[in-house]
Structure 1
């Protein structure tokens, strides 16, 4: 049996992309799969062997935790080491030297984030962001050269740091594995059996300045329809959290912490509108937000940022677009979908159909399988 190990010191072991999509799919293909990730205990779930790691909030401690993760990963005896965080690039070289096949799964385009003056990576002081970006780019170049494969999640040709254009000699190492939803999982989860007194606008994801949460809360002050904005996710920074909570209109905004996808999809199905109005940073404008596809899979009409890449990809038949910095404009779009039921139903049905036909994990996983067969000489 071929053993493979996924490693993360940032994400929970049962992360949606890592565990539910990649690891469980590989188990069904007959691989013995381990995931070393943030979790309270070692256990086996859905055929995946979870090796728990202690969670650290500080990046300095998390960096050293990567060596703990490497030690645990090596104990599994896996032939392929699949890394999911930029902090793990260093141990990737060590794993490669130990004779392992190494894959890096780039969930985001970190170079673009660090290059942006308004980056959500606020742990990097603004005067040093370009220096950090340059240093990261050097590490990225070495990783692309020495690792066996590099997975990326979006393929916008206009991306200022497009991987295929940046590394023409190593195009054969790059695999596009987009973060599409698992349709079969979503369809097996019922809507939450709770009383809904008024329409729900739902946002799922990180709660930070770059995601436009404050602007979304500001919009709720102007929404004329009696509705609730439901935020689901983890706050990044106590100061920003307090700023948002202090500005929440009474009775119009609710927040719930991170939750497993089985429960999360129940909330999405209970909602009336999905929203993803993240702000125009370079990385945001050139990639996708997984939440968008999850809203569509659940049949919700979607309001999203008016990025040219998004408008081109989704089109007016799948969503309506708005300037994410314009809270008044966001409020108008919310009222439009809550009051024009025919439009909301049409957008929701179109989005669901497109997910069924092309934007689901059931189709996207084939690229992952092709990569693993190549790595383990199974072709």
Structure 2
């Protein structure tokens, strides 16, 4: 199908982003679609798993990225005579609009509720810019929805927002959840560990609103048999430096940002997975990919007591106030003491994860492409 060229484009995400490359792009390639990836990370062009990756260069700063990366990506799409683009960043709506005028078909992939994420940006609140940025973004969001043939949501919890706001365009929307590839998880062995330790694991962006301060306070309360293992990127180097000064940092092991294959081996070696995010609007109706990864790795998980999470995950997780380290620590001890219930929960959670795997979601993705190509 060489006449149906497809490009996934991103100016923000890394080239081997789990959702974009490992799941969506590779699924299209396996379906014999002529697909490529266009990025802006400065690592150069390459071919991976038979897929061409084109690099437009890493911008010097955020302003440069906003002003120039979308232009370079647009040029690359036109130069490669791409017929369909699938874009992953709100800042690429300008590129999508211009390419739409050139006859390129557009798919918009929404990873998060940006309109609510803006509320959580401390630097915007500091300069009283939140309302202005939300107003500007809402205009761009409307343009993005209007010009897109398909709009893909990464979370089922986003549907209420978009269905209520864009009632006249409901046929464009579908949900392709960001859940794990079970075949990849099942094939990974456990990581060797000290059997005398109780390992708490957190996977994902490490930030204030995702509970890093409370996790450190929790590990400080627990005795020296406990360790906290962190996997992911820091929201800022300033936050990383501040956390390293915490009295409990000696009980923390930081693995850095890792590919899924390595993450799964580590998770399988843990005792409890943490997903104690703060109750901000952008978290309340998500189903974090880490939750499915924990379940698939047979790692019992402790989650924030959001009503939506308790309704969705039911008896496949433990719940706690994410802002109360003492309660979190007490619940952790209780989980480890009640082995029988924990093992029953692990089995139910594993089967739940298997029913919600990428192997099923990719069929929804491929259906969207069949409808427009």
Q: Is the 8 A contact 1:224 1:335 kept in 2?
A: no
CA displacement at 1:39 relative to structure 2: 5.9
How much has 1:77 moved relative to structure 2?
2.4
Judge conservation of contact 2:73–2:95 (CA < 8 Å) in 1: no
Aligned CA RMSD, in angstroms, stands at 1.8
Aligned length: 368
Alignment partner of 1:366: what SS? Answer: helix
| Structure 2: segments with no counterpart, 5+ residues | none
1:115-126 aligned at under 5 Å gives the runs: 116=119, 119=120, 121-126=121-126
Give the superposition deviation at 1:146.
1.6
Q: 1: distance between equivalents of 2:237 and 2:350?
A: 36
Question: CA offsets per residue over residues 320-373 of structure 1, 9 Å max, x none?
Answer: 11111111111112222223222322222111111112x101111111111100
Q: Tell me the CA shift for residue 286 of structure 1.
A: 1.5
Matched ranges for 1:1-379 at <5 A? 1=1, 2-37=4-39, 38=41, 40-56=43-59, 58-63=61-66, 64-114=68-118, 116=119, 119=120, 121-126=121-126, 127-156=128-157, 162-193=161-192, 195-224=194-223, 226-315=225-314, 317-357=315-355, 359-376=356-373
Deviations 1:56-96 (A, max 9, x none): 47321221222222222333322110101111111110111
1:256-297 Cα deviation digits (max 9, x unpaired): 211111112111112111111111110110212111111111
Q: Cα–Cα, structure 1 residues 157 and 231, in superposed 2: closer, same or farther, change >3 Å?
A: closer
TM-score by length of 1: 0.92
Q: In the superposition, relative to structure 1, how do residues 48 and 171 fare at CA in structure 2: closer, same or farther (>3 Å)? A: same
For the residue of structure 1 that corresponds to 2:38, the secondary structure is: strand
Greater CA deviation, 194-203 or 74-83? 194-203
Q: Which residues of structure 1 form unaligned runs of 5+?
A: none
Say which SS state the counterpart of residue 203 (structure 1) adopts: strand
Secondary structure at the counterpart of residue 191 of structure 1: coil
* Shift in CA distance, 158/104, structure 1 to aligned 2, threshold 3 Å: closer
1:144–1:50 Cα change, 3 Å: same
Residues 171-214 of structure 1: CA deviation (Å, up to 9, x unaligned): 01111111111111111222224555512111011111111111
What is the TM-score normalised by the length of structure 2?
Answer: 0.94
Contact 2:203/2:232 (<8 A) preserved: yes
Distance 1:281 1:57 in 2: 31
Q: Is contact 2:44–2:57 with CA below 8 Å preserved after alignment?
A: no
Bigger Cα displacement from structure 2, 221-230 vs 367-376: 221-230
Cα displacement string for residues 14-68 of structure 1 (whole angstroms, at most 9, x for unaligned residues): 1100011101111111101111123613222223222234344732122122222
Provide Cα deviations, 1:292-319, integer angstroms capped at 9, x if missing partner. Answer: 111111111010111111111000x200
Distance in 2 (CA, whole Å) between partners of 1:39 and 1:262 is: 24
Change in Cα spacing, 1:228 to 1:57, as seen in structure 2 (3 Å) is: farther
Q: Does the residue aligned with 1:124 lie in a helix, a strand or coil?
A: helix
Conserved in 2, the CA contact under 8 Å of 1:40 and 1:53? Answer: no
Write the distance in 1 (CA, Å) between the matches of 2:135 and 2:213.
Answer: 31
Q: Distance in 2 between matches of 1:227 and 1:18?
A: 35
Question: Counterparts of 1:100 and 1:134 in 2: how far apart (Å)?
Answer: 27
The question of whether the paired residues in 1 share the 8 Å contact of 2:108 and 2:148 is answered with yes
